[in-house]
Amino acid sequence: MSQPLGLMQDQIIKIVLPRDEHLDEQSARLLTAKLQLPVAGSPVAVLMDVTNVASVSRAARAVFGSLTTVCAWALLGQTPVDRILAHFILGGDFKSGPAGYFTSETEAITWLKEHANVH
């Protein structure tokens, strides 16, 4: 897996979930460990790429939903299966702010900037 987590723009972090993998709680905790420490003391917006992920457990979904250092989530996918998986993830208890599904990275980033107040 290449660079699963990286800073895209100020306060926007991109997470690329591993392709063809089953994401469990431990994997989700490893992916989100750096999100526990906000960038420059401010909450971050997250662009999560779920393209071609095999599955996400309920426990992994709970990990994403429980992060308080994230102010908005944009999930990115390409296929109908990606959409179903993203909506499963979004069906969790996201305490940190608004969340949406997108098929365009550009649209997702624009939405994050509008909804998370990041630039």
Amino acid at 16: V
Instruction: Note the pLDDT tens digit of each residue in 53-79.
Output: 999 999 999 998 888 888 899 999 999
Class of domain 5-116: alpha beta
Instruction: Note the pLDDT tens digit of each residue in 9-26.
Output: 667 889 999 899 999 999
Rg of the chain (C-alpha set): 13
> Could you give the C-alpha distances from 6 to 48, 68, 79, 80, 93, in angstroms and in order?
11, 18, 23, 26, 24
**Position 1 confidence tier, pLDDT thresholds 50, 70, 90:** very low
* Of 65, 59, 56, 64, residue with least CA distance to 23: 56
